[in-house]
Amino acid sequence: MHASEIFRLDGSVAVVTGSTKGIGRAMVQGLAEAGASVVVSSRKQELCDEVAREVTESTGSPALGLACHVGQWDDIAGFVEQVTERLGRIDVLVNNAGINPTHMTPSTMTLEYWHKVFAVNVEGPLRMSQCVAPVMRDHGGGSIVNIASMAAYSGGPGICAYGASKAALVNLTKSMSMEWAPWGIRVNTLAPGPFETEMVAGADRLQPGFRELIASGTRMGRVADASEIAGPVIYLASRASSYVTGDEIAVCGGMQK
């Protein structure tokens, strides 16, 4: 097989949660450019439909907009059923949807907020993967990519719930990879560093100099463009990573774990 072909996703179906903005939007665009039929998902159906139209128009790949709140455990099975009914299969699942960190510290953390963060950032990927894994198994396997964060390794007082949830997701990924390898399902983690997102832009408005601060924590000295996440996610979704599972790839400009 030619080297360029192993990165192609023609004939596959890829679901990306939280894919109407930020790195999720860039990932669904990249997967569609690689030939996959994609499912664009976030909480708002109208926005999902809008982004799905944009993806199809720009790539020529089929795109389905389908809303789902991953923090609602009981809603996820129905979402997966709708995808399989309409597209027939799921070959790639990217668990990207997550709650952004706030400046709530261990001293000020409330149980309500803690539970909310873990419901979206850990329980959502768990339930989504539970529901998708049997579909992948029945079609010969697949790839699940959990989107963690460099905050999983470094923590910080202002992002304690976020960092703890992403650390839990890294560990959960390893357990998933062990259980589902016999089904031909690979499960890996991407840990992004600082990317140009609405979160970073908002933080920079509230705290001038924030962008420069986080850029200084990378060896490359910059914040990544959202499009720079596409290559790593295509690698993990495609046959190019056919012997990779239970692993973590940092996409962070050289930040220290």
3-251 CATH pick, 3.40.190.10, 1.10.10.10, 3.40.50.720, 3.40.50.1820: 3.40.50.720
Q: Is the dihedral of CA 153, 156, 161, 162 positive or negative?
A: negative
Ramachandran area for residue 141 (φ above 0: left; ψ -120 to 50: alpha; else beta): left
Q: Is residue 207 classed as helix, strand or coil in its secondary structure?
A: coil
Strand partners, 17: 41
1-41 tens-digit pLDDT = 677 799 999 999 999 999 999 999 999 999 999 999 999 99
Q: Is 113 a catalytic residue?
A: no
Query: What are the residue boundaries of the structural domains of the chain, listed by start?
Result: 3-251
* pTM (predicted TM-score): 0.96
CB 65 within 8 A of CB 48: yes
Annotated active-site residue in 153, 162, 235, 243: 162
Predicted local confidence at residue 253, as pLDDT: 94
The pair of three-digit structure tokens given for residue 191, joined into one six-digit string: 């840990």
Mean pLDDT for 113-136 is 97
